[in-house]
Chains A and B, each alone.
Chain A
């Protein structure tokens, strides 16, 4: 603690010293949280999907996009069912999901269900690999996913749009979106609904005499609405209000073993309302003050029996300063008050988590940047050690048509114990925060010439998670304990090549591969084994072609075998899925229309993400979008 306070003091001292210097650089712009955060993430691998990816997967969930990133594993418990994410061999509660600056992870479970985030509700996605607690706080041991609900632009424009789709297994979807903006206002409103009977056929290999069955008791629907309002006040102040209501009602898809069994399924109802108000003020040419207040409500109703009501207030204030010509500094405080009402706990549980943090980014030379971050969380009884990170990023001198960027980062992260770990059914009062250590190197190259554009990226990493919480099972009931340690290492490689053959014909091919070893280090019978459900090998490839108003896309993704037990003597079979898509766009004056036909799992491969949870075979989807845009 003393070290942390000294560190914070040192940061603040630096801020005061360098604040006295004149600045010739641009002021910190009023920007979204993700952009602000990654400014201090030099050395970290940060990726974002193509905007076409989000567009092409409309009607699906966040997991479909995130699963395309190398080194990211999605554990999906069925189509439309609970989906968790893990980076580079870490666990399901080692990723922080940030929506407009707010952590979406449930305080009770410590993780997010990606199936509760339809792509219709987000406009921008960024992914940061590696430990990031110094920047973002608890849970960010493996990585961070940044979600933005709106990208504001203060130009006069009106956009109205409707999108609708129909797909196999009685799946339907619609989205209505409106945007109004001028020099002072940006308003975006959306409403969506998505539902599926999920009645796909599969070969039930668990029967004594295997047979084809229709999946039963797995239907779901979700609906929601977003409202984003931005108001520019004068030249230096922006106020924003972002709100998102979402509700999902579903049957939890049963295992193949009990498919079709009467009374043998469970249900889950999820409802949430998140609202963030934020004020950003440029106090001077060197300082940006940002204050935000958020209210988060979550209701999980499991099997029409157990209720979890979670109410959170999140306050945050930080100052971002541009010091001299090369220094950027951000210092801030945040508080998170959590109240949980649940029949799973003996009483109402409340707590206040407070964070103090500082981030520094320095351009040592115009092409060499260093970032240092430090965060301390205060939580009675479960206080983690300070979380620091240090990163370096540099551009190599251009050689011909090649441009290379290299990066390196080390970090220490943490995950605070969840409410369930502390209180359910009796909890473990002696539970400690999990600690993550991470180091990585990477390089990105780009080649631009008349022959086309070639891009490549390579990352090498090693990490360790200590005091990993495992739930113990006995006749006394479940209880969590810090009894596991896991070390991970691996690499990711991706390459893409694009070329414009003519003005109206472009093509692009890309491929990627991830090697992930997540090794159990604890001294027990499973020592040196691979962590369950972490594929050692994963690869994918994609070919795209655009000709006039037509677009075609083929992609194939391979997921290697995954052990389902820590003893590594049984595995879920590897699989390769291929998808095909054809789209046609047409503009007529102020109207733009786009129709898209997609075939998922083209070769009707029988596969499982989780052992004995059936996944759909070949499916077809047809979507159309119509947008009206008016500019003055």
Chain B
């Protein structure tokens, strides 16, 4: 009997060992919802994380402080969720990993200069850093750092075009939008070789659509649809007709993948600040932007289950908000968040 018991335990251990990692993710407090990025005010370094629960439709604020017993203390530039590990990028020089479902700290590296984005690629945690400013407020020594994903120690560093702003993992390669150069850099995390895809304007954000195409946006008012296999631009959409409305770089796709939503900012003749969300139908080669919603101090957007989520930074004056709209532009609700609410990261 004892022999069978050992055999049973051996089989059981094999079963657990072979279970795909995503199925081992324990369910926890932060599971069915999304994280809200409260960037924080520069002088107060009071960035924080909020959590929107889909089930209760409520926002839980100060997630980091309540789970880790100390303030986050930083300018929260980006949140990235990868399974049960979430990366927090602090523009003041800190990259930190936390366990997604509990939001407790796993590791941290406080020695960066000006980090902007991060993701996991191959066996690395990759960090995009603008590097220091020179005497002309430029960043000529921007870099990508490759870190041990557990200890967050830097194992490799390569130079990159100026101001790497947004990272995207496409077919195992890291696509980098560099907002001070007119190209996308494509980096292999294996041999660290860099290839470039030239663009007419500097890109500030890159995203993947449902069909596996890469979309890049320039804050100067241009969108590109790129085939990542052959690395060519399939379509260019100019948004310059919206001037003086200017895209702020934030865009998202609906779940069907046939519409793209983007955000603009504008000062009117009395210098009152206004924000707008437009919809582009991707079934057309040159779609005309359709106005969906209008407000002020909007900084980021996300779409989930036919709901448009808008981050409102409240002009950095006190706490920001998340506003919920239908995709037709009807307001559903608003919820108070932390300081300078700027974006979202879905837990999936």
Give me the interface of A with B, judged by CB distance under 8 Å: 206-208, 255, 257-258, 261-264, 304-305, 428-431, 470, 472-476, 479-481, 524-526, 529, 564-570, 610-612
CB interface residues, B 19-65, toward A, < 8 Å: 41, 43-46
CB distance from A67 to the nearest CB of B (A): 20
- The one of B92, B108, B297, B318 in contact with A257, judged by C-beta atoms closer than 8 angstroms, is B92
Decide: A565 near B318, CB < 8 A? Known: A255-B45, A258-B92, A612-B44. yes
Do residues B318 and A305 form an inter-chain contact, with CB atoms below 8 A?
A: no
Complex CA distance for A541 and B102, rounded to whole angstroms = 48
Between-chain CB contacts (< 8 Å), 24 pairs: A206-B71, A208-B70, A208-B108, A255-B45, A257-B45, A257-B73, A257-B92, A257-B93, A261-B113, A430-B269, A431-B271, A470-B317, A472-B273, A475-B265, A476-B266, A476-B267, A479-B271, A481-B270, A481-B272, A525-B314, A526-B317, A564-B46, A611-B45, A612-B73
**A-B CB pair tally, cutoff 8 Å:** 109
B110 at the interface (CB under 8 A from A): yes
Do residues A207 and B41 form an inter-chain contact, with CB atoms below 8 A?
A: no
CB interface residues, B 101-158, toward A, < 8 Å: 105, 108, 110, 113, 132-133, 135-137
Complex CA distance for A475 and B249, rounded to whole angstroms = 9
User: Which A residue's beta carbon lies closest to that of B275?
Assistant: A474
B336 at the interface (CB under 8 A from A): yes
Do residues A525 and B219 form an inter-chain contact, with CB atoms below 8 A?
A: no
The 9 closest A-B pairs by CB, nearest first: A567-B318, A566-B318, A475-B248, A263-B132, A567-B319, A428-B271, A526-B318, A206-B73, A474-B265
Decide: A475 near B46, CB < 8 A? Known: A261-B113, A263-B132, A524-B317. no
Decide: A473 near B315, CB < 8 A? Known: A430-B269, A430-B270, A525-B336. yes
Give me the interface of B with A, judged by CB distance under 8 Å: 41, 43-46, 70-71, 73-74, 92-94, 96, 105, 108, 110, 113, 132-133, 135-137, 219, 246, 248-249, 265-267, 269-273, 275, 297, 299, 313-319, 321, 336, 339
Do residues B339 and A304 form an inter-chain contact, with CB atoms below 8 A?
A: no
CB distance from B165 to the nearest CB of A (A): 12
Complex contacts, A208 vs chain B, CB 8 Å: 70, 94, 96, 105, 108, 110
Do residues B317 and A481 form an inter-chain contact, with CB atoms below 8 A?
A: no
- The one of A261, A526, A529 in contact with B93, judged by C-beta atoms closer than 8 angstroms, is A261
Contacts A208-B108, A475-B248, A567-B336 known; 9 new A-B pairs at CB < 8 A:
A206-B73, A208-B70, A263-B113, A430-B269, A431-B271, A480-B271, A481-B272, A525-B314, A570-B44
Do residues B246 and A476 form an inter-chain contact, with CB atoms below 8 A?
A: yes
CB distance from A194 to the nearest CB of B (A): 26
Decide: A564 near B271, CB < 8 A? Known: A264-B113, A474-B248. no
Complex CA distance for A612 and B73, rounded to whole angstroms = 9
Complex CA distance for A431 and B267, rounded to whole angstroms = 13
Complex contacts, B219 vs chain A, CB 8 Å: 475
Complex CA distance for A305 and B138, rounded to whole angstroms = 12
Complex contacts, A263 vs chain B, CB 8 Å: 113, 132-133
Complex contacts, B336 vs chain A, CB 8 Å: 525, 567
Complex contacts, A529 vs chain B, CB 8 Å: 318
Complex contacts, A566 vs chain B, CB 8 Å: 317-318
Complex contacts, B113 vs chain A, CB 8 Å: 261, 263-264
Complex CA distance for A476 and B267, rounded to whole angstroms = 8
CB distance from A233 to the nearest CB of B (A): 53
Do residues A611 and B135 form an inter-chain contact, with CB atoms below 8 A?
A: no
Complex contacts, A526 vs chain B, CB 8 Å: 317-318
Complex contacts, B315 vs chain A, CB 8 Å: 470, 472-473
Decide: A525 near B319, CB < 8 A? Known: A208-B105, A430-B270, A567-B339. yes
Residue of B246, B272, B321 with most chain A CB atoms under a 10 A cut-off: B272
Complex CA distance for A567 and B312, rounded to whole angstroms = 14
CB distance from A395 to the nearest CB of B (A): 46
- The one of B43, B135, B316 in contact with A610, judged by C-beta atoms closer than 8 angstroms, is B43
Complex contacts, B71 vs chain A, CB 8 Å: 206
